[in-house]
Structure 1
Amino acid sequence: MAVQRQQLRFAVRRREPELVGPAAPTPRETKRLSDLDDHETLRVQVQFVFFYRAGGQHDAAAADVVRRALGEALVPYYPLAGRVREVDGRKLVVDCTGEGVLFVEADADTRLAELEACSGGGELRPPFPSMDQLLFDVEGSGGVLDSPLLLVQVTRLLCGGFVFAVRVNHTMCDAIGISQFLLAALLRRGSLGDAVEMVREAKAAVTAEYARSAADVLVLRGRPLLALANVFVVSDHRHAGFHRLDLGWGEPAYGGGADVVFGLGYLVAVKNGGDEENAVGAVVSLPRPAMERFASEMETLYTQPN
């Protein structure tokens, strides 16, 4: 069902951005990305967001918990504390410098209920109209090359809940990868085992010969952008475990992609009518005339009797 989004205005007070590095010494080395990872289409940054309701007396410590957990996780996942560089032939490598990831702590004068109301239908579903407030674009951090590979912002809300937002360099992580890094980092809860098992299953489904062939074709063609003419890409995020990411405050009211990309749709796990039943949300971006027609068709379909 199509819903009308409202623009919610609220003030956010942010502390100065800081770099969070590995909590222990890590190797200083350079690692080559695969020919699939440094494809032109993946040379972007992608955003994820998680909304948590008030969960008890330790809500105010959410930023401290996340900051400390990031430092600990960056020890085994030390390449994420480095920087992506481009070498001969536009090949991408990650320079494991240990410089760290960007972290922003903030407070917002709004409540989760207000964010739900402006999201449409009283439930949290992307795209979120105030993401520029919940994930501040730190100056100089938005590039793919020579920039921090992760930007994290934890925003406390007036109701005691908080928002955990992440921007990640897509050449380093896909949905499963960033999900695996987060459940490893944040209080060892959730579906790390499930994520590992899904990676194994995915690898088993794609033969080594097929993967090598696909990578070779991309390199021979100069790693071109994905041709989107007459193509619509759908990415299924439901099995990445975002909606189950427990930081110690229970599962998020919403967890998953934060924005919409034209030509790319993705499926997310959402609550159905505010209850505990899981449903599927399909996030798409269309030209305005097509979106108006699509919304009309969906409205008709939604209101038809069974």
Structure 2
Amino acid sequence: MTTFKAHQSNPELVMPASPTPQGSKTLSDVDSQIPLWFYATVIEFFRPRDAVDGHETPVVDVAKAIREALAKALVYYYPIAGRLREVSKGKLAVECTGEGVVFVEAHADVRLDELGDALVPPYPCIEELVCDIGDAKDVVGRPLMFMQVTRFKCGGFAIGVSICHNMADAYGVIQFLKCVTDLARGQEHPAVLPVWDRELLMARNPPDLTSLPFFVSDEPSPPVQPMAMDKMAGDYFLFGPREIAALRSQVTEPATDFELITAAMWMCREEAIALALGCGRSADGSQQQRASSLLITMNVRGKAKLTPPLPRGFYGNGFVFVEAELRGTAASSLGGTVELVKKAKRGMTEEYVRSMVDLFSVGGAAPYAQGWTFVVSDITRIGEDQLDLGWAERVAGGVPIVGDDHATKLVSYQMRCKNADGDDCVVASMYLPEPAMDKFKEKILLILAS
């Protein structure tokens, strides 16, 4: 695999291009939940667009163009140029100070095509494409975004963004980046204007948790020791038309690509953990030493999700979790596991969403046992394909397995990409202890060959 070193400029603060409103804005109860107190990272790759209709592509100073567009974007998204403060235990507000975000320019002496023929993860030297943000969980009083633009010697480049997760989810981050690319392309205004409206995801008074049977119980669960995080391995698994067809042939009921991929990876993950670490369920699903839990992040945007619905342009955290447990006969077949995934998704009613927001407001969280719980996030439809600079086009990107925070790496992201044949595919991340990863690779190959 290609290795390289990115040569970075000194970090600078980029402030909004014109004066912005001052004051304090309270984050929602979904935004403030403790598991989101960290910087999430996204990396997007671009290459210069070929000449069209005989017109040459303009020569652009990439870093200068994006830096200037970033300053203009912060006029619209001015809270991101502020700083967080903790107003009470576990409750956050952003002070709109206009202090700015961190920007770094870098260059690497490699060509974009040296990173891989199809530009699918794992990308080499991914740490070279993002800023050093220090402690990823230290979010109060610091810049809320760090951006690095890395130029390759072919003219291609990468935009690496680390943003405080309390400020935005994956949809919100891509919406912000689309604003930057719109403005860098020469548009006067972004195509979608940002909307704050965090009050739409505040808890009820009094909170009502009755719709959360998995999350709230009169009988507290025994504490679970976190999985040992030494000697971990991260990898990605590609699901193209052939792999999806292989999975679909093993189920009798209709299922989405997400349901098939999630069920297959969940089954294989649990079998791998059981075989490699001596805990979990047995390979035949007949014994259970602990509950094998799945958490799925579910987007609450859309007309049918909330009343009133989250408006177009909302860039805050707009998701909740649903849970399933792999038990009994369902554990022994892909079709049975798919049904568990589908049942969990069907449980996300509006009342469920409201109860989940209530849970966050009282300091509750999803029942997450670090390392043991399989956490899945589908980001295949967050709009990355709409990132268009005009003079450069997006060719790949997503959420990398990067940094020192094991908890964030443990989320399995499903992302859209293209394989070497140009087929639309889904690539899914996995992070496990090395012995379990070896077993997982064996198991996933077996299920795809069935």
State the TM-score, normalized to the length of structure 2.
0.58
Gaps of 5+ in 2: 51-56, 196-298, 308-349, 403-407
Which whole-Å CA distance do the structure 2 matches of 1:228 and 1:138 have between them? 26
Matches of 1:139 and 1:231 in 2, distance apart? 27
Residue 281 in structure 1 maps to residue 427 in structure 2: yes
1:86-101 equivalences in 2 (<5 Å): 86-101=86-101
- Which residue in 2 is equivalent to 1:216? 358
Q: Distance in 2 between matches of 1:95 and 1:131?
A: 32
Deviates more, 1:174-183 or 1:128-137: 128-137
> How many angstroms apart in 1 are the aligned matches of 2:392 and 2:367?
38
**Alignment check: 8 A CA contact 1:31 1:94 kept:** yes
- Where does residue 128 of structure 1 map in the other structure? 123
CA shift at 1:296, angstroms? 2.1
Q: In structure 1, what is the Cα distance between the partners aligned to 2:378 and 2:139?
A: 24
Given that residues 87 and 93 in structure 1 are in contact (C-alpha distance below 8 angstroms), is that contact kept between their aligned partners in structure 2? yes
- 1:268 matched to 2:410? The reply is no
Shift of 1:244: 3.4
Q: Which residue of 1 aligns with 2:179?
A: 184
Residues 156-215 of structure 1 show CA distances to partners (whole Å, capped at 9, x for unaligned) of 11111111111111000001111111112212579956x99xx88536314565444322
| Residue 139 of structure 2 corresponds to residue 144 of structure 1 | yes
1:293 aligns with 2:439: yes
Distance in structure 1 (CA, Å) of the matches to 2:23 and 2:128: 36
- Determine if contact 2:300/2:306 at 8 Å carries over to the other structure: no
Distance 2:164 2:48 in 1: 30
Which of 39, 59, 84 lines up with 2:33 in the alignment?
39
User: What is the Cα deviation at residue 263 of structure 1?
Assistant: 3.4
2:380 match: 238
Alignment partner, residue 107 of structure 2: 107
Between 1:155-164 and 1:133-142, the stretch displaced more is 133-142
Is this contact kept in 2: 1:272–1:279, CA < 8 A?
yes
User: How far apart are 1:224 and its partner, in Å?
Assistant: 4.4
Tell me the CA shift for residue 72 of structure 1. Answer: 0.8
What 5-or-longer segments of structure 1 have no aligned partner?
Answer: 1-5, 117-121
Residues 268 and 282 of structure 1 are in contact (CA less than 8 Å); yes or no, is this contact kept in structure 2?
yes
CA offset at residue 255 of structure 1? 2.1
Match of 1:173 in 2: 168
Output the CA distance in 1 between the equivalents of 2:444 and 2:89.
Answer: 47
Q: Does 1:247 align with 2:371?
A: no
Paired positions, count: 288
Give yes or no for contact 1:155–1:164 (8 Å, CA) kept in 2: yes
Change in 2 beyond 3 A, CA 1:225/1:99: farther
SS in 1 for 2:381: helix
138 and 59 in structure 1: CA distance in 2 versus 1, 3 angstrom threshold: farther
Task: Map Cα deviations across residues 41-85 of structure 1 (whole Å, 9 max, x no partner).
Answer: 111111111111233654551111111111111111100000111
Specify the alignment match of 1:70 in structure 2.
70
Matched ranges for 1:5-16 at <5 A = 6=1, 8-16=2-10
Cα shift at 1:223:
4.1
Give SS of 1:285's match. Answer: strand
Residue 202 of structure 2 corresponds to: none
CA contact (8 A) 1:41 1:225 kept: no
Deviation at 1:27, TM superposition (A): 0.8
Q: SS of 1:74's equivalent?
A: helix
In 1, Cα distance between equivalents of 2:5 and 2:301? 45
Distance 2:169 2:150 in 1: 24
Q: Shift in Å at residue 86 of structure 1?
A: 0.9
**SS of residue paired to 1:283:** strand
- Say whether the 8 Å CA contact 1:19–1:103 is kept in structure 2: yes
Q: 2:22 aligns with which of 20, 28, 52?
A: 28
Counterparts of 1:11 and 1:231, CA distance in 2: 35
RMSD over aligned Cα atoms: 2.9
Partner of 2:79: 79
Counterpart in the other structure of 2:45: 51
Q: Is the 1:228–1:263 Cα contact (8 Å) retained in structure 2?
A: no
Q: Does 1:228 align with 2:374?
A: no
Q: Counterpart of 2:182 in 1: which secondary structure?
A: coil
1:267–1:282 contact (8 Å) kept in structure 2: yes
For residues 211 and 300 of structure 1, what CA distance do their matches in structure 2 show?
37
Alpha-carbon distance in 1 for matches of 2:373, 2:447: 25
Q: What is the one-letter code of the residue matched to 1:271?
A: K
Identity of aligned residues (%): 40
Shift of 1:141: 8.1
CA, structure 1 residues 239+38, in 2 after alignment: closer, same or farther (shift >3 Å)? same
